[in-house]
Structure 1
Amino acid sequence: MTVTQLSTFVLVARLGSVGAAARTLGVSESAVSQALTAMRTHFGDPLIRHSPSGGMRLTPAGARLLPVASRMVALSADAEAAVRAARGAPDELRVVATSTLAEFVLPALMEAFAGRAGRRTETSFGVASGKEMRVLVESRLADVALGPDLGASREGEVVGEPLFRTQLVVVTGARAPRPAGPPPLWSWLVDASGTDPDADSGRLLRRLGVTERHVWVFPNQTATWAAAAEGAGVAPALAHLVSPRIRRDELRMLETPATPSDATWHATVLRPEHRSPATDAFLHFLHTPAATRIMRAPGAGVPPSRFRPPVYVTLWGA
């Protein structure tokens, strides 16, 4: 049994499917399944079964194993950090964010932090859903999650801090007519956050009662706004990020029963005693005027990429 296998089991158990764990790890589903098979063989128990509802449920043995496996994964991360520090290796900082923050804010934040940190720091960052972000931070596979308030964990291991307050709005082409009918019948143009029930856009669509058949998903937020400007539909947007396009008369705001509405970005991290020095330094930086300026006016968007945590599932042939 390896730490990688334990990490894989924890992700499958907490995310609820082999596919979700594979996407989070950036590996194939067969790799995750083989890691689970090795765990089942080692313990002589299925650990996780498919439930009649289509999800997955832990066996009694799996339920007892999960908190122990989680602690072992966390201890492994602490051990790696201790050895890195003893060798004088650079600090490690792994940040995950919602697709909108990863597109517009995160690259500039990380660049500014690297220039101010005063220490060598190896950084990695990318996109994850709200559920994935919580699991990645809890499992020590990411250090900081930026996005909506994920709430404190039941055990108090994970805490959130508010960073920046803005407004969620809905935009359409500057010269496009108002869509016919109520908002649930409009054509909604979203990036990945629109399919994430924990993200601001996903919550908005749920509040308005928009079904999947009225939603079109684009690779990034910039693409959704470009399609909206051409009259293809309406798009959720954060007011301060979309305001340059409104000033250029490319887009205009539409009022809906749920917008404008307040939205707050949070940083979700482990409790202080479990955080690395790089995490503490980055968290301090996020509360500085320089970071606030970047969050308020970050500039042009950069297409976001999926986060790849430093866990590798290796398949061993016979």
Structure 2
Amino acid sequence: MTLSQLRTFALVARLGSLRAAARELGISEPAVSAALAALRTDLGDALVVRSGGGIALTPGGRALAAYAQEIVGLVDQSRREVTRAQREGEELRILATPAFAEHAAGRLLQAYARRHPGPAAKVVVDTADDAGALLRERAYDIALGTRPARSSTPLHTMPFLRYRRVLVAAPNHPLTAVAPARVPVRALAQRWFSGPSAGGPVEEQRWFAGLPAVPDVVQLDSEAAALAAVRAGEGLMLAVVHVIRRELATGGLVQLAFPGTPLVGMWWASTLAPGRVPAAADSLLRFAGSAEATEAMMSVEGPRGLVRRGTQVHVALWSSRGAVAPSSDREV
């Protein structure tokens, strides 16, 4: 059994496909099959079997998958720690969900940097559907915005910011002149807009699942773009209240009466169990739950979030002086 074989198997287990694992590793599919064959011979277990149009793990394969992810993650973490020690620095790797990154991440990181200057931070914005696996593999030190599913590997999870969404429209939208009792039925026939993670958090998934009909939701690259479409009178949106409160107060946007709103959601911070992550990750998780962090994230001042461009965004570092510094072509 080799590290290369375990790395290959861990990817196959996570992605559910030999082809996807080969593409991720930059090797051929036969090479992936050969690595699995070697593990089968070594362990005396089939590990994976064909199931429908894909593959499924055997009980032995499921047991190995947990260990493989842990071992590969520890090796990669060890290499990074050695590299960090050599250059006498540290980089905190953060995975942030799109909505949290856009609406609150900038202010959270700026406030944390003022309180804890020193480490560099690389933030990757993604939908984080497999955040738990990515944390266990130590691809990231901390995930912000999502609560990973429970697993055999213990995770330290903490809710840190409650938010509310309401259904809004432009003042000139036809629904604003409709009697409140008739809004729900008519709203479901309208076009809705969202950012890239519509229905992502569990609270929003449950809310959409409970609707009598599913509206036509157009996902855009950011919630800012979705709000722009709503302001132009092109449709409706479930918007975060603390982001649009000024527009609601001045009449720039109109809140529509809709059952189940305001929809209350929660943003979470997650790491591996304490003692198994860099001190900066544990420190950021604890800071995120502080009153100081909440006040910063709800403030109307400062950089609210991180702008999403493409499928992922690498946002620059905060300096040793604690100032958030944008990269050359990304906005913070």
Asked if Structure 1 and Structure 2 have the same fold, meaning a TM-score greater than 0.5 normalized by the shorter chain, the answer is yes
Q: Distance in 2 between matches of 1:226 and 1:17?
A: 39
Give 3-state SS (helix, strand or coil) of 1:166's partner. strand
Give 1:194 deviation, angstroms: 0.7
Unaligned ranges ≥5, structure 2: 176-182, 315-332
Report the CA distance shift for 1:139/1:183 in structure 2 as closer, same or farther (over 3 A): farther
Q: What residue is the counterpart of 2:185 in the other structure?
A: 181
For residues 9-88 of structure 1, what are the structure 2 equivalents within 5 Å?
Answer: 9-16=9-16, 28=23, 31=26, 34=29, 36-37=32-33, 39-43=35-39, 47-49=47-49, 51-52=51-52, 54=53, 56-59=55-58, 62-84=61-83, 86-87=85-86
For residues 278-293 of structure 1, what are the structure 2 equivalents within 5 Å?
Answer: 278-293=280-295
TM-score by length of 2: 0.75
Unaligned ranges ≥5, structure 1: 310-318
For residues 50-199 of structure 1, what are the structure 2 equivalents within 5 Å?
Answer: 51-52=51-52, 54=53, 56-59=55-58, 62-84=61-83, 86-87=85-86, 89-119=88-118, 121-150=119-148, 153-155=150-152, 157-178=154-175, 181=185, 183-194=187-198, 196=200, 198=201
Q: Distance in 2 between matches of 1:185 and 1:55?
A: 37
Larger mean Cα displacement after TM superposition, 40-49 or 68-77: 40-49
Q: What residue is the counterpart of 2:298 in the other structure?
A: 296
CA RMSD of aligned residues (A): 3.3
Give 1:84 deviation, angstroms: 4.2
Give 3-state SS (helix, strand or coil) of 1:67's partner. helix
**Would the aligned equivalents of 2:107 and 2:305 in 1 still touch at CA under 8 Å?**
no
Give 3-state SS (helix, strand or coil) of 1:57's partner. strand
Give 1:15 deviation, angstroms: 4.8
Q: Distance in 2 between matches of 1:124 and 1:9?
A: 27
Q: Distance in 2 between matches of 1:124 and 1:296?
A: 23
TM-score by length of 1: 0.78
Q: What residue is the counterpart of 1:250 in the other structure?
A: 252
Q: What residue is the counterpart of 1:315 in the other structure?
A: none
* 1:88-132 deviation per Cα after TM superposition (whole angstroms, max 9, x unaligned): 63222111122111112223333443343243x231112232422
Give 1:226 deviation, angstroms: 1.0
Larger mean Cα displacement after TM superposition, 121-130 or 167-176: 121-130
Report the CA distance shift for 1:128/1:33 in structure 2 as closer, same or farther (over 3 A): farther
Amino acid at match of 2:160: L
Report the CA distance shift for 1:148/1:111 in structure 2 as closer, same or farther (over 3 A): same
Amino acid at match of 2:91: E
Give 1:223 deviation, angstroms: 0.7
Q: Distance in 2 between matches of 1:135 and 1:110?
A: 24
Give 1:62 deviation, angstroms: 2.9
* 1:160-199 deviation per Cα after TM superposition (whole angstroms, max 9, x unaligned): 1111122122212122122673554332211121153x45
Q: Distance in 2 between matches of 1:6 and 1:244?
A: 53
Aligned residues: 299
Give 3-state SS (helix, strand or coil) of 2:74's partner. helix
Q: Distance in 1 between matches of 2:189 and 2:290?
A: 42
Give 1:250 deviation, angstroms: 2.7
Q: Distance in 1 between matches of 2:230 and 2:133?
A: 34
Q: Displaced runs of 4+ in structure 1, greater than 6 A?
A: none
